[in-house]
A and B are shown apart, each in its own frame.
Chain A
Amino acid sequence: MPSPMVSIINVSKRFGALQALDEVSLEIPRGAVQCIIGPSGSGKSTLLRCINQLEPTDSGAIFLEDELLGFERKGDKLLELSEGQIAGQRMKTGTVFQRFNLFQHMTARENIVEGPLRVLNRPRGEVMDEAVALLERVGLADKSGAYPAELSGGQQQRVAIARALAMRPKLLLFDEPTSALDPELVGEVLAVMHDLASTGMTMIVVTHELAFARDAASNVVFMDRGRIVEQGLPTTILTEPTEQRTRDFIGAER
């Protein structure tokens, strides 16, 4: 039995008096599409940020395959890794942000090649060819020289996905990737995500697009107040949830 792609074990995180994550545990198998739903402020983003080590956890452990993230075990203590070591772990996980966060001073292609060139130190020619292929894959072959400000939200988000893919990550995190988009641009981004899911990429997707969760997810988690309230197959969670809170949320989202 191979280890899961991600194991989250009893992860907690506080912001002052606020318990943003409360003993969260979750296993995500290789190639799975894990959707996370839940009301605003329930800790979904915080969980993704902990996985990508943009926030340090207070307790608990997160593994990417067999690698403990953020710490090194010394006897019965966990020692924090150095900044460089954390950067090294981060590049195995790609993140797609709600607000795209494309590098504003770089063209679409420059955004995509930045990581492979500067972080992975791969040869330029190879990286450039790959960028062309990635832009084609997200349907933006003609936009390689455009700056983010010249692209629509949907186009920016697709470039952001290509930028994440260029690092050849083992895992992709999506934090409400379509929430900042005009309704008519949501479809083009979801299409790219569907395509990724079908190629076997392991993905964790925080989303309010219940239709996407129904069609693409292998598992859906409902979170509320920093806890996982309920999880299961999309059909179960989205159509016949057991918990009242889940039912209320899904009723309201419709």
Chain B
Amino acid sequence: MRSAEPGRNAGSRGEIMEQNNLSRTGLAPTRGERKAIANLEIVPRRHLGRWVTAAVIAVLLALVIKAFAEGDIAWGVVAEFFAAPAILFGLVNTVVMTICAMSLGIALGVVFAVMYMSPNPVIRVVAWGYIWLFRGTPLILQLLLWFNLALVFPTLGIPGLIEVRTVEFMTPFVATLLGLGLNQGAYTAEVMRSGILSVDSGQTEAAKSIGMTRLLTLRRIVLPQAMRVIIPPVGNEVISMVKLTSIASVIQYAEILRNAQTIYYANARVIELLIVAAGWYLIVVTLLQIGQYQLERSFAKGQTHRGNHKPGRAVENA
């Protein structure tokens, strides 16, 4: 219901009608009232709920800290082992494995994503089979399979050329790398595929129109633009991978958790050493998150400054 049109006669009848209006709907202030309202001071909304939540959280946090402080944790032991050689060695192994397995995973991911989209049906089926196999079985099972490969194939190699005994070749490092890398490849392939599909088909057609081959188009035009979509999930997967490497402790790969366990088997300081390992995981993950943020910014190139439309040269034309 609208009233108080500008320029309307402000006669007594009108005012009565207006008041009637007001009392009926509680809306439609008069012109004078509107002016007065426009001059009132603005008081920001008080976010009472935020203060309440903050208070509740602070109390809970204090309780948790108190519990840990009074609990049976020898913080001195945590400090003592935080930079112990075995822990640092484990940390290096964790980082090295993350880098190697993730590199293998990304490389396989690109290859299988491209194969998955190949016009050749045989290649498509191979890619589908790879993704199906490695996504369909538990990672820990895959690790155990690789580690125990010697039970199936006592030797590996090309007959007559090179041959190695499987137990010697399939060290915990190699088994972990294959397990984590091949598994990661299957997941990364899906991420890569959605990234590639996110690039407008006009980009591919323009690349073709200047004579680029499929592979060159992929490398120069499609993948660089797909990166924007690919980096956030891959960044998350790198972070997952840091933690996933801990699973390799089951096949004796000397990563940080395994080494922490080795120490607490000897000194029985279980919680202290788990806290040490947790601290290092948090440090590595935090650093990675910072790196991911920087990378995302650098690949946003050419995607910013939208709407900066300056009028072009005006040209006479019939």
Which residue numbers of A lie inside 8 Å of B, CB to CB?
A: 52, 54, 83-84, 87-88, 90-91, 93-95, 97, 99, 101-107, 114-115, 118-120, 139, 147-150, 152, 154-155, 158, 160, 163-164, 167, 184-188, 190-191, 194, 211, 215
Q: In the complex the two chains form, what is the Cα distance from A54 to B211 in whole Å?
A: 11
Question: Which residue on chain A has the smallest CB distance to residue B209?
Answer: A95
Q: B202–A97 contact, CB under 8 A?
A: yes
Q: Are A152 and B310 in contact (CB under 8 A)?
A: yes
The answer to whether the Cβ of B235 comes within 8 Å of any Cβ in the partner chain is: no
Q: Among the listed A84, A101, A190, which residue makes an inter-chain contact with B203, where contact means beta carbons less than 8 Å apart?
A: A101
Q: Which 8 residue pairs are nearest across A and B when measured between Cβ atoms? A: A91-B211, A115-B210, A101-B206, A191-B315, A101-B202, A147-B302, A95-B209, A187-B317
Q: Which residues of A have CB within 8 Å of B312?
A: 139, 152, 154-155, 158, 185, 188
Q: Which residues of chain A are near B59, meaning CB under 8 Å?
A: none
User: Considering only CB atoms, which chain A residue lies closest to B210 in the complex?
Assistant: A115
Closest to B227 in A: A105
Surface stretch bound by A, among B143-151, B216-224, B264-272: B216-224
What is the minimal beta-carbon distance from A146 to any residue of chain B, in angstroms? 9
Pick from B303, B308, B309, B314: contact of A104, CB below 8 A. Answer: B303
Does A139 lie within 8 Å of B313, measured CB to CB?
yes
Given contact pairs A97-B202, A167-B210, A187-B317, a sample of 19 additional A-B residue pairs in the complex whose CB atoms are under 8 Å apart: A54-B209, A87-B211, A90-B210, A91-B211, A103-B221, A103-B225, A106-B302, A115-B211, A118-B212, A120-B211, A139-B312, A139-B315, A147-B302, A152-B309, A152-B311, A163-B210, A164-B209, A184-B314, A190-B315
Do B306 and A149 touch (CB < 8 A)? yes
B317 contacts A190, C-beta separation under 8 Å? yes
Within 8 Å by CB of B301, from A83, A88, A105, A211, lies A105
Known interface pairs A97-B202, A104-B303, A152-B309. Does A87 touch B208 (Cβ–Cβ under 8 Å)? yes
Question: In this complex, what residue of A is CB-closest to B312?
Answer: A154
**Which of A94, A95, A184 is the one whose CB lies under 8 Å from B311?**
A184
List chain B residues, Cβ under 8 A from A150: 305, 308
How many A-B pairs with Cβ below 8 Å?
Answer: 116
Q: B315–A188 contact, CB under 8 A?
A: yes
Whether A119 lies near B211 (C-beta < 8 A) is: yes
Asked whether, in the complex, the Cβ of A167 is within 8 Å of the Cβ of B317, the reply is no
- Would B318 and A211 count as touching, CB distance under 8 A? yes
Are B305's CB and A194's CB within 8 A? no
Q: How far is the CA of A88 from the CA of B213 in the complex (A)?
A: 9
